[in-house]
Amino acid sequence: MDPSDSRDHVVPGTDEELDGADVRGYDFRGDVDLTALLESYATTGFQATHLADAIDIADRMRADDATIYLTLTSNVISSGLREVVAALVREGYVDVLITTAGSITEDVIKTAKPFKMGRWTADEAALRERGINRLGNIFVPSDRYVWLEEYLYDFFDDFFAEDAIRTPSEFARELGETLDDEDSVLKQAAEHDVPIYCPALTDAEVGNFLYYYRQRPDTADVGIEIVEDYDSLISDGMLRDTTGLIAVGAGVPKHHAIMTNLFRGGADYAIYIQTGMEGDGSLSGAPPNEAVSWGKIKATDETNYTEINAEATLVFPLLVAGAFFAD
């Protein structure tokens, strides 16, 4: 074979002109403009373009006066994203929060005792000896949980004083009313009448301390009832003209939001920020188009959902800045 004959295989060429925008990134000449930088993500490609799509979808949520559900896993509150979530609630940009028990316990702890920056490569056995717990590159001394136990026991006495059976949303609201920290998500939610749903309330220190609290003879009948909250989520959602979901992380909070929106025919908008892999068939890795197949997100002619495959601390503040605070 003549080597020149291979050229059509290597460089086949095309006569087709594509209609898409030119791939182009931000031009750093002159002063840096955050809004222009985020707008340039639309033509940057890869996950940057998904972030630009997310900002656009969040803008449309706000323009349509959608009821916005924010779902988050506890590592969001472990990190500096706690202050970002508190700001969204404080400024009235979020209508419903769905989260995990770890978010609640860590939000309370941070009102009195901060978490500390650590490192990923710490000696785990040495940390255990020192009474330090590691969350990635964040360190949490065990004395935080000793303090939390005392705080919650005092709270439980008041919380269960009149009714032995309460709901997770009541727990979150009344606990938030006891806190004095403007960066507390629970406090901001209580002050701005934003319900916090936590369907797995026992899956953290709250559950541990409730277990010990119930060992007392006079508290053996107290408990947490979750179905009433589920009923409220479904009933309230069906009354909303338009809903939008922002799921930071996945698991139970994300699924609770899309599942309860199923009862109203699906959410109108959805933004996922997650790192789970789709290939294992788990909910945590499931993309939004899978939720469309279940009726949990509406199918529309215009793209109404996107997924950003990225770690939340990198992109969630940019989404919030671009869609909520750049006006």
pLDDT confidence of residue 1? 67
Query: How many domains does the chain contain in total?
Result: 1
> Would you say residue 12 lies in a domain?
no
45: in domain: yes
**Catalytic positions, written as ranges:** 296
CA distance 206 to 36: 44
The per-residue pLDDT for range 174-222, each reduced to its tens digit, is: 999 999 999 999 999 999 999 999 999 999 999 999 999 999 999 999 9
Indicate which CATH number applies to the domain containing 57.
3.40.910.10
The answer to whether residue 285 sits within a structural domain is yes
Q: What is the pLDDT of residues 101-115, one digit of tens each?
A: 999 999 999 999 999
Does the residue 13 lie in any domain? no
| Assigned token pair, 31 | 């002063």
Q: Tell me phi and psi for residue 285, to 5 degrees.
A: -100, -5
Q: Are 199 and 226 in contact (CB under 8 A)?
A: yes
Cα separation of 248 and 250, whole Å?
7
Q: Give the pLDDT confidence of 219-244 residue by residue, as tens digits.
A: 999 999 999 999 999 999 999 999 99
For the stretch 217-239, what's the b/e string if a residue is b when 16 or more beta carbons lie within 10 angstroms of its beta carbon? Answer: eebeebebebeebbebbeebbee
Is 180 part of any domain?
A: yes
Per-residue 3-state assignment (H helix, E strand, C coil) for 300-325? CCCCCEEEEECCHHHHHHHHHHHHHH
Q: Give the Cβ contact number of residue 260 at 10 Å.
A: 26
Whether 295 and 268 have beta carbons less than 8 Å apart is answered as no
Whether the predicted pLDDT of 72 surpasses 80: yes
| Alpha helices, DSSP H, located in 91-250 | 101-110, 124-130, 143-159, 168-176, 185-191, 205-213, 227-238
Q: What is the C-alpha separation between 322 and 58, in angstroms, rounded?
A: 9
Q: At what angle do helices 143-159 and 101-110 cross, to 10 degrees?
A: 110
Looking at the DSSP assignment, which residues form a beta bridge with residue 269?
Answer: 244
- pTM score: 0.96
Establish how many alpha carbons lie within 13 A of residue 121's alpha carbon, considering only the half-sphere containing its beta carbon.
0
Q: Averaged over 20-49, what is the pLDDT? A: 97
Q: What is the pLDDT of residue 14?
A: 80
Question: Is residue 1 domain-resident?
Answer: no
* Of 208, 152, 144, residue with least CA distance to 178: 152
CB 257 within 8 Å of CB 98: yes
Domain that residue 153 falls in:
21-325
Residue 282 phi/psi, 5-degree rounding, is: -80, 160
**Least confident among 6-15, 97-106, 237-246:** 6-15
Cα 152 to Cα 9, 49, 145, 188, 242: the distances in Å are: 70, 44, 10, 19, 37
pLDDT, position 111: 98
Q: Is residue 308 in some structural domain?
A: yes
Given a contact cutoff of 8 angstroms between Cβ atoms, the answer to whether 201 and 104 are in contact is yes
Helix axes 205-213, 143-159, angle to 10 degrees: 60
State how far the Cα of 267 lies from the Cα of 68, in Å rounded to an integer: 10
The answer to whether residue 280 is domain-embedded is yes
